[in-house]
Structures are given as structure tokens and as C-alpha cells.
Amino acid sequence: MKTQKFLFFGTLIMVMAFAAVLAGCATTGSISPSQTAEDPAAQLAAEINAIKAGSAVAEGGTVRLTGDVQITGRLTVPAGVTFTVPASVTLDITAEGARLDLGDVTLTVDGTVNARGHGDQSEEGIKINGGTVVINGSGNIRLQSKGRLLRILKDKKLTLDGVTLVGLADNDDVLVAAAEGGTFIMKSGAITGNTNNSEKRRGGGVLVGDDSGTFIMEGGTISGNITKCSNGGGGVYVNGKATFTMSGGTISGNTVRSDGEYSGDGGGVALEGGAAFTMTGGTISDNTAGDSGGGVLAIHGASFTMQGGTISGNNAPKFGGVLVHVHSTFIMEGGTIYGAAEGANANTAKETAALGTLAGGQAKWGSGGTYTKGGVPQSGGSDIGRSDDTLIAVPAK
């Protein structure tokens, strides 16, 4: 009897010890259910590791990828979490139905993110799902299918700081859109390489509007984007009640093409239908329009107020620098617009005014601002093109 009891208790001890070993193996290098219930970052890491084991770790409020991951469904980054894609790591969101939801989070991209584009009804790719989102880092986010890479809608706010957004060479939409009350802030980074071949959708790099929206450009570069259509906006297109404020950065090397019935206007920035653009700094340079307004186009009730910055080296057959047309307003209170005799800085035009013109609109000069014509600085003058252009300067109110 004693022998049986000894064997029983001995066996029980061995079973308990073995169970403890198994438990230790189960928790080592993984995340326990109690952790995920209390820690959103740990929960996200567990979800990623369920897609591909060993590909994510949770470190405080940060989830860091440790290997390449392809999302095939919907993955939500919890509010307050920083989600990091390190250098040499790729996050793939290109599968049909794949989606990364971001709301009140920071996405740090030092590696590469490949994403699907948003169509009219599509909710795939990267979705700005609510609140304030920051996308920062030194890596690239690349569009891999036709559509918009990022949409900021309905009181949501996105800040881009350092990351390069790369479009498609054969797209049918703009790369980034801030519309319906959305706000886009660009502190640094780049928006580049997008060709919008649509005959209906305007904007190559950034669209602000489709009713209302806000774009604040403090730095970075919008370059190498292409669109077509009249009033197209190769770099930035703004319409409706939307606003664009530029205090720094560069809009350069963008193109709006002429194509059949579409004249191709507004190589750098195009403003239409009540849109408002205030430029206090930065540079709009070396953009090309297929017809008119190589640098900036303002048309159909739009307003352009220039308080600083430089408009130079843009090109179009007509009005290489700035074209303000049809009940629109240009107010120049600072900054510099270069004319035809400024060498590398010159805005150029083959057929008409190199610097620009104003037809059917209003121009108001404040106390500052200089444009050059024939190599001679003009301040508070009467025209910004040929001698027969009609542009009357009156004091700003």
C-alpha cells in the first residue's frame, strides 16, 4: 500500500513538472492571452504573428515588424499604438481584400509598404479610419494598383513626415486626396511618380476638394507627377471650398498634358471653383503645362494670395508663370515671380507672356512682393506679361 501511494505521488509530481515545462515552452517567445487583453500593442503583434509566425514584437506601445508580412484580410492598428516597418522589411497590402486600418496612430515606415489603390467604392489598401494619423520615417509607400494611395475624409487628419509616397506610371487617379473636410499636412518627404491618365479625374500628386478639404504644405517635395485634362494640376489640384496653404517645400517637375479636347492647364498648381491658395514660402518651379499656366492657374472664382516664396522656371505655350482667369483673384503681398530674362530662373512661354497674365479677374498688390520683367524688378506695376496684357494693380485691402 505504501508502495502504491509513493508511486502515485511520484507520478503526480512528474506530471505537474512536465506540465510546468510545457507551460514555459508555451509562453516563451510568445504573448499570453492575459497580455493581449490588457495590451493593444501585444494584441496586434499576436495578430501579425498569426499571419506569419515570428514577424512582429511588442515593445511598450510600439509594434515592430521583424520580417516581411503580407496582409490578406483586415488588420487594425489600435489607437495610441506606433506601428513600425523597419529598414529592409516589407509590409505587403496588395492582396484582394487586404486592408490596414489607421486611426489615432503613428505608422513609422523606414522600410517598404506596398499597397493597393482605393477605387470609388473600394475600402482596400491603407485606410485613414479616424482621428489623427501620423506617417513618418525614411522609407517608401508604393502604390501597386490603380486608384488613390491615401484618402483623408470627413474631419480626419493625416500628417506626412519623411516618407516617400510613390505612384504608378499608368494610374487613373491622383495619389493623395484630402476631401469632404479632411486635412492633409505635409512636413517633409515626397509625393512622386504618379501619372493620372483619367480624362475625368484631375490632379497628379495631390487633390484637395471634391467639395471641401485642407492641405497644409510646410516642407517636402511634390515632383514628377503627370495628369491631363483642362485645369488639371500636375502637382496639386484644389477646387470647391478647399484651401491650400504653402509655407515651405517644393512643387517641381510636374506636368499637365494637352490631349485632344483637353487643353492642359496648371502644371504646378491648379485652383478652380472658389478654391483658395495662400503661398507664404517655398518654391513652385520647373513645372510644365501643355497649354497655359505653367506654375499656377487660378480660374472660375479661385483666389491666389502670394505673401512669400518663389515661382520660377515654369513653362507653357501660354503664360509660363501664373494665369489668373475668369472672375478669379491674385493678391501679391510678397515673394518673387521671375520673368523672361532671368536665365535659369525664368518662367517661359512660346506664344504669349512668359511671366503670366490676368484676364477677367482682379489683381491687388500689397506693400511687398516683386516680379521681374525684362530683367527689371517691378513692384506695384500695371502688368505681369506683355505690354498689352490687362492687369491693373490696386492697393490690397
Give the model confidence (pLDDT) of 68-89 as tens digits: 999 999 999 999 999 999 999 9
The residue among 193, 187, 247 whose CA lies nearest residue 220 is 187
Q: Is residue 359 a part of any domain in this protein?
A: yes
Cell of 103: 486611426
Residue of higher predicted confidence among 299 and 195? 195
d(CA 213, CA 275): 10
Q: Find residue 150's DSSP bridge partners.
A: 176
Q: Is residue 214 a part of any domain in this protein?
A: yes
CB 308 within 8 A of CB 336: no
Mean pLDDT for all residues in the chain: 81
pLDDT of residue 211: 75
Determine how many CB atoms are found less than 10 A away from the CB of residue 155: 11
Q: Is residue 329 a part of any domain in this protein?
A: yes
CB 230 within 8 A of CB 247: no
- Percent of the chain at pLDDT > 70 equals 75
d(CA 146, CA 172): 6
Cell of 140: 517608401
* 3-class DSSP string for 221-259: EEECCEEECCCCCCCEEEECCCEEEECCCEEECCEEECE
**What mean pLDDT is predicted for residues 329-340?**
72
d(CA 372, CA 376): 5
d(CA 393, CA 364): 5
pTM of the entire predicted model: 0.84
CB 391 within 8 A of CB 357: yes
pLDDT of residue 127: 95
pLDDT of residue 2: 43
The residue among 290, 318, 95, 137 whose CA lies nearest residue 204 is 290
- Percent of the chain at pLDDT > 90 equals 55
The residue among 326, 328, 279 whose CA lies nearest residue 303 is 328
Residue 284 is part of which domain span?
202-397
d(CA 93, CA 46): 18
CB 99 within 8 A of CB 115: no
d(CA 391, CA 373): 14
- Whether 6 has a pLDDT exceeding 80, the answer reads no
- Whether 125 has a pLDDT exceeding 50, the answer reads yes
Q: Is residue 300 a part of any domain in this protein?
A: yes
Q: What is the β-pairing status of strands 296-299 and 269-272?
A: parallel
Domains of the chain: total: 1
Q: Is residue 162 a part of any domain in this protein?
A: no
Q: Is residue 150 a part of any domain in this protein?
A: no
> Environment class of residue 365 by beta-carbon count within 10 Å: exposed (0-12), middle (13-18) or buried (19+)?
buried
Give the model confidence (pLDDT) of 143-173 as tens digits: 999 999 999 998 899 999 999 999 999 999 9
Strand order in the sheet with 125-130: 74-77, 99-103, 125-130
CB 191 within 8 A of CB 218: no
DSSP structural state of residue 125: E
Q: Is residue 358 a part of any domain in this protein?
A: yes
Residue of higher predicted confidence among 1 and 228? 228
The residue among 76, 81, 110 whose CA lies nearest residue 93 is 76
**What mean pLDDT is predicted for residues 289-301?**
89
- Whether 380 has a pLDDT exceeding 70, the answer reads no
d(CA 355, CA 394): 19
Cell of 124: 482596400
**What mean pLDDT is predicted for residues 300-313?**
87
pLDDT of residue 112: 98
Q: Is residue 25 a part of any domain in this protein?
A: no
Cell of 70: 503580407
